[in-house]
Structure 1
């Protein structure tokens, strides 16, 4: 059995020549929507849009599936036609679709006719194609998609009929065509192609006078309605008829139209284009996905100035020039030009029409008339159109061809939202080059030998340019024009001078700051202010709540302004609702911050610092509610900390904002806000302990110690010395730690501060314990314990009880150790100090292991491990894992020991701790035992 599907008339199916009952119109519409893409997957959402449009029923997918089930029953698989569910859509599988579906057969015949070597063969093919039409396409169906598809199909029918007439004229027909062309000329009174065919047919029929009169009437209509003369081709035909040119009869293949103009307007392909393979593939995929004879393919390439949009468009267009034998059009719309106004669509259309062979005096004056003529000339032609540097979507829309065989590449610094929404443009946002692509660009510009001779310098240049194509190109030009200068020297200059090295006084197009400045021309004052403030705000990225604090705007308004900067490709949206600038764009933004009044700029920085400080303080309270923490002063007016409902959200916020908080402390120090500097170091301490950020914490407390000297409370200086010492110990800087602790204790004694004395003795115990002097550590811990008891600080008392237990265990006094740990756990449970309890339980695990009860040791260690995982205590977790491996080994459980030690090794390495070498040795020894 064979099946045939008819779309070029009433939608129906024929099985072995007999009509098949397809059910109601919606069901036939489903078949039509699949048949136009036979052999290709049609996504379910697109299928529903075609069938129902905006009136898709609430259970659209279920209804669609029901229709498809009925179609499957009407078209059994034995008929070599099948509707299959694939990849979120449906595909109509049918043997030889270009034979079985009349629309696809029609298109196949047209394509073969275009490729035919002989006009007689082309006539035969086109005649067969035209006779496939049985009236109005998609008869019996309605809806938005159907109407649009019907209009497109009518246009295809008209072009095919005109192609057939041209082919018949080429083989010598004339009189036979007069009646048909007279009717067609009446339907299309301003179509010069139809008019030319009609004139030649009349002339060949011996009716030259009628042909000349027809020309006169057409000319009058063009002048009256469009204000233009007939085109050059029609005027030339008129002249030849007047002159009784014998070649109009003598050449059976004579064409009434002049040779097709094939414009080649693309500028030269970029000489040193490298990388971007993913982006090039995405552009090609857009074309391939659309398929032949579908609709015009529009790709909107977005990105910041100097990111390489034009290079990408030109590189792709040149690579695929063979796909567009009818030519290429290119225009720079100058949407972001330094001194010039954007090119008006009217002027761009005039250039395109001229390139397509239209005489200047034939080009209409009205924009809509120009656009209509342009679309008419582009119909049926396979061309690529590059619209470079568009300012807005309105800048582009009049320049879009209507022909389905065209591809349009639009580049812009804005996202051209309505072009995406209304014209189905596929958006491609360009980012910077990756490291390999950036190195390849430098190698292409400077030569492989020079790049390979200084790999470290090249790496630094790539890093300093951040993969930004224009910055890399400027750097390459600076190096290429000074071949005697080492690349290391070029890198040193770039590192020292930054944007100054990427500027050019006399050639704005060769200056990164100048190119970026062109994007600011279309910003409002509010948007320009935020752009400048983002250049000086602390941190590598930001969020709408932080921007609201920075600007004093509401969060809703802050999001609007951020969206405008994102639309202008000056900032990028990152996962988690974060916004970031490229480092070079940020450096340029910082230069524009000078335009913001100094008091406004400083007030903005104060607000955003207070936002981060007070949110960090709130997070710290959630992470460790028992730790005594001085309250920072009230925030600037209007600033509210970010709401953190629980410990988990607090930890997530601190992880996301960590780099920004470090930068905030540095910015506060530069502004002389010493209280912010000190409080930020304090607020991040517990987070740093749990996450093992040793070096960051050490650096923060160094800055905080300097700021403490400017604060009135002497406790801040004592605490700064003590906290800095804690991190010195963790980094193995024991002498430095001892000096700071002696300072801390002296200040605490001098100012009669027993609580600070207790904290310092506790820290001295930890420092001595880290160096293996457990006797001295125990003495300091007992001294701290007495002080905490006298001050009635039970949480701290529990903490030091746990420390006494640990030091006693290390000295071999396991009974004392066990007693103190259990006492600590009682207090810790009473006060809900789960982190402290984990430390005490861990020590009980150590005691059990060293007293030979290895199973009990595992129980304690795993209990502590679960708590530390839940609290995110990465630093303590690594120690816990290492300890856990030893009782596993003692019990002969080598696989379990290997697993926990490997996890400990990974954490130690991430934290940069010397313990990694010890664990690696333990793993090696375990492997030896297992052999």
Structure 2
């Protein structure tokens, strides 16, 4: 069998037994790129369509995708004698690379081997492996292939490329060869002037080459740029290195004699102040307390994961509890916001977090390894035998938090995030704390803390109704309370009446560019395209709850596929599971504010024709269910605008 080599680390290129293959037009290249980005995994027709036509697909999109795939199959059959390289796999296609090679996989394997060599102290071998990995790059990844999904993957690959270039430079500095690195690092810093690790390497290379003035100038240029463009000072790593250069510190003269040595630790106290309006959550606090008692003295690490929809109070609960138990962790408390769902700030990498954590624990800048694996190992070593409480707020993935996990059972980690992270459960014993709406008696208490007990207590019925209109969601209640504070002439009943209209309610609870709508929007945009479509179409149904068949109907797809998507919405806390009519019946429902948001998205993103088609399929399926005698509540549907 002839061997195909697929190259993505540069312009898309395919060679079979060394001979180049002509891939056809832009659509063929985009489809092939999408399949190669996740080899061995099914890529749905919807995802391919969105990649090929990001601004809107024609009615014949599915047929055109099928024609392009057929063309690629013929191409590979003619060139390599293999017609099953791309196979159909519902709901799309998969590329099978058994016996073939792809440069992204080769790159990842070499990088993994290099990092393992670092871990075992084989610096020269690691340096050679990094060099071999970097030699696979021929320019910008997938240069010439366009599409939003493609661009996202290109950005990820380019970020990894830069990380490896920086790691490689750090190793070469450790090996004592600074002079040849200066030109290479100068180019890297010029191309990416805000990358602090690359700038730190260049400063150190200048210094070790006897160019102290140039080292200080590189820092000054970087600082001026950051202050001018971002309004911030350089990070502690860069500032610390600058101070060491000014002092001619001896540790800058060469690589550390024992880079793994553990310094005497500090006692960090990084917990932010708990919200003064924190209210209730008695069962959740009790569960967290029991976790410490039940796990005391055991070897497994103590881990809690708090999840829930935007605005439900995850961070407030984590910080409030952490402050209550801080004295049980005499070796310190670490806190970081990982910005998992914050569009205004970049996702915080574990590499950067470990740098800050290690400094907080007393590790000098010169002793912090230049690679993620080394930093994570040193972090575990520093924490060994200590009692430290670590709060990882706003996490998005297991990849983001795994390097930040201690290795012993005396520490405690509290993680907050909007979705349940399944990989976390498979690696650690985790207390899962899923946050729902506040208890009916707690919500008015929160309002009273914000707007005053006398004001809220003067009309308890209106306060209770206001709480319900806010879905007893802490964020919505805080906004409502702030509205009352800023409008002292409004009664509680007046604000309640303003929220009665569903069309007005979301606007009232979403001041400026923030509030409830913005929080929900971040979770919505994190869904895959087909998940977003299901979410917003379900918002068209005026029913308190629905069974899995409803999701299949609105998507016009297989019920099992639709149920899998529904579970994705459940994991993201965008819909809730409620008891069904029988022991084997699953039902789902929206909170009212979430339902209003879903309907808004449907009316903004689906045409009137699409909305009518959704509801027609739903009514047809409903008739079939009723014809079989399946219990189902009376349902009505909205195809038009939200009332008001």
Asked if Structure 1 and Structure 2 have the same fold, meaning a TM-score greater than 0.5 normalized by the shorter chain, the answer is yes
Q: TM-score range by the shorter chain?
A: 0.5 to 0.7
SS at match of 1:268: coil
- Deviation (angstroms), 1:361: 2.5
- Deviation (angstroms), 1:341: 2.8
Q: How does 1:447-596 map to 2 (within 5 A)?
A: 447-496=452-501, 497-506=504-513, 508=514, 511-576=515-580, 577-594=586-603, 595-596=605-606
- Deviation (angstroms), 1:406: 0.6
SS at match of 2:340: coil
Q: Is the 8 A contact 1:379 1:404 kept in 2?
A: no
- Deviation (angstroms), 1:294: 2.1
Q: How does 1:460-859 map to 2 (within 5 A)?
A: 460-496=465-501, 497-506=504-513, 508=514, 511-576=515-580, 577-594=586-603, 595-616=605-626, 618=627, 644=628, 650=629, 653-654=630-631, 657-658=632-633, 661=634, 663-664=635-636, 667=638
Unaligned runs of 5+ in 1: 1-187, 191-219, 240-255, 619-643, 645-649, 672-931
Bigger RCO of structures 1 and 2 (CA < 8 A, at least 6 apart): 2
In structure 1, C-alpha distance between the alignment counterparts of 2:320 and 2:397, rounded to whole Å: 23
Other-structure match for 2:330: 325
Q: Are residue 286 (structure 1) and residue 295 (structure 2) matched? A: no
Q: Is the 8 A contact 1:226 1:364 kept in 2?
A: no
The one of 422, 427, 432 aligned to 1:427: 432
**460 and 360 in structure 1: CA distance in 2 versus 1, 3 angstrom threshold:** same
Deviations 1:668-699 (A, max 9, x none): 9x89xxxxxxxxxxxxxxxxxxxxxxxxxxxx
SS at match of 2:306: strand
- Deviation (angstroms), 1:512: 0.5
Other-structure match for 1:357: 362
Greater Rg by CA: 1
SS at match of 2:588: strand
Structure with the higher fraction of residues in helix conformation: 1
Deviations 1:543-584 (A, max 9, x none): 111211121111011111111111222112222311111111
Unaligned runs of 5+ in 2: 1-119, 123-170, 179-200, 205-236, 251-260, 581-585
SS at match of 1:426: strand
Deviations 1:228-264 (A, max 9, x none): 99x99xx99x99xxxxxxxxxxxxxxxx997630111
SS at match of 2:500: helix
SS at match of 1:289: helix
Q: Give the aligned CA root-mean-square deviation in angstroms.
A: 3.0
In structure 1, C-alpha distance between the alignment counterparts of 2:384 and 2:262, rounded to whole Å: 16
- Deviation (angstroms), 1:269: 1.1
Other-structure match for 2:12: none
Other-structure match for 2:148: none
- Deviation (angstroms), 1:447: 1.6
- Deviation (angstroms), 1:321: 0.8
In structure 2, C-alpha distance between the alignment counterparts of 1:365 and 1:521, rounded to whole Å: 34
- Deviation (angstroms), 1:533: 0.6
SS at match of 1:574: strand
SS at match of 1:298: strand
SS at match of 2:433: strand
- Deviation (angstroms), 1:439: 1.2
Q: Is the 8 A contact 1:298 1:409 kept in 2?
A: yes
In structure 1, C-alpha distance between the alignment counterparts of 2:262 and 2:339, rounded to whole Å: 35
In structure 1, C-alpha distance between the alignment counterparts of 2:596 and 2:311, rounded to whole Å: 15
The one of 395, 403, 406 aligned to 1:398: 403
In structure 2, C-alpha distance between the alignment counterparts of 1:360 and 1:602, rounded to whole Å: 62
In structure 2, C-alpha distance between the alignment counterparts of 1:406 and 1:461, rounded to whole Å: 41
**221 and 382 in structure 1: CA distance in 2 versus 1, 3 angstrom threshold:** farther
Deviations 1:384-418 (A, max 9, x none): 10101111111111110112111101111111001
Deviations 1:613-648 (A, max 9, x none): 3433x2xxxxxxxxxxxxxxxxxxxxxxxxx4xxxx
Q: Is the 8 A contact 2:271 2:335 kept in 1?
A: yes
- Deviation (angstroms), 1:450: 1.0
Q: Which runs of 4+ in 1 moved over 3 A?
A: 220-229, 256-260
Other-structure match for 1:798: none
- Deviation (angstroms), 1:288: 1.7
SS at match of 1:593: helix
Q: How does 1:189-200 map to 2 (within 5 A)?
A: none
In structure 2, C-alpha distance between the alignment counterparts of 1:422 and 1:222, rounded to whole Å: 35
- Deviation (angstroms), 1:423: 1.8
The one of 406, 411, 414 aligned to 1:409: 414
Q: Is the 8 A contact 1:301 1:309 kept in 2?
A: yes
In structure 2, C-alpha distance between the alignment counterparts of 1:604 and 1:467, rounded to whole Å: 31
Q: Is the 8 A contact 2:263 2:363 kept in 1?
A: no
In structure 1, C-alpha distance between the alignment counterparts of 2:265 and 2:362, rounded to whole Å: 8
Normalised TM-score (structure 2): 0.57
The one of 339, 350, 353 aligned to 1:348: 353
In structure 1, C-alpha distance between the alignment counterparts of 2:262 and 2:563, rounded to whole Å: 57
**333 and 477 in structure 1: CA distance in 2 versus 1, 3 angstrom threshold:** same
In structure 1, C-alpha distance between the alignment counterparts of 2:472 and 2:459, rounded to whole Å: 18
In structure 2, C-alpha distance between the alignment counterparts of 1:567 and 1:341, rounded to whole Å: 23
**538 and 614 in structure 1: CA distance in 2 versus 1, 3 angstrom threshold:** farther
In structure 2, C-alpha distance between the alignment counterparts of 1:545 and 1:355, rounded to whole Å: 53
SS at match of 1:505: coil
Deviations 1:729-783 (A, max 9, x none): xxxxxxxxxxxxxxxxxxxxxxxxxxxxxxxxxxxxxxxxxxxxxxxxxxxxxxx
In structure 2, C-alpha distance between the alignment counterparts of 1:481 and 1:380, rounded to whole Å: 50
In structure 2, C-alpha distance between the alignment counterparts of 1:389 and 1:226, rounded to whole Å: 41
In structure 2, C-alpha distance between the alignment counterparts of 1:485 and 1:314, rounded to whole Å: 33
Other-structure match for 1:795: none
Other-structure match for 1:824: none
Q: Are residue 446 (structure 1) and residue 451 (structure 2) matched? A: yes
- Deviation (angstroms), 1:226: 14
Q: How does 1:302-321 map to 2 (within 5 A)?
A: 302-321=307-326
- Deviation (angstroms), 1:225: 11
Q: How does 1:188-227 map to 2 (within 5 A)?
A: 223-224=174-175
In structure 1, C-alpha distance between the alignment counterparts of 2:533 and 2:121, rounded to whole Å: 57
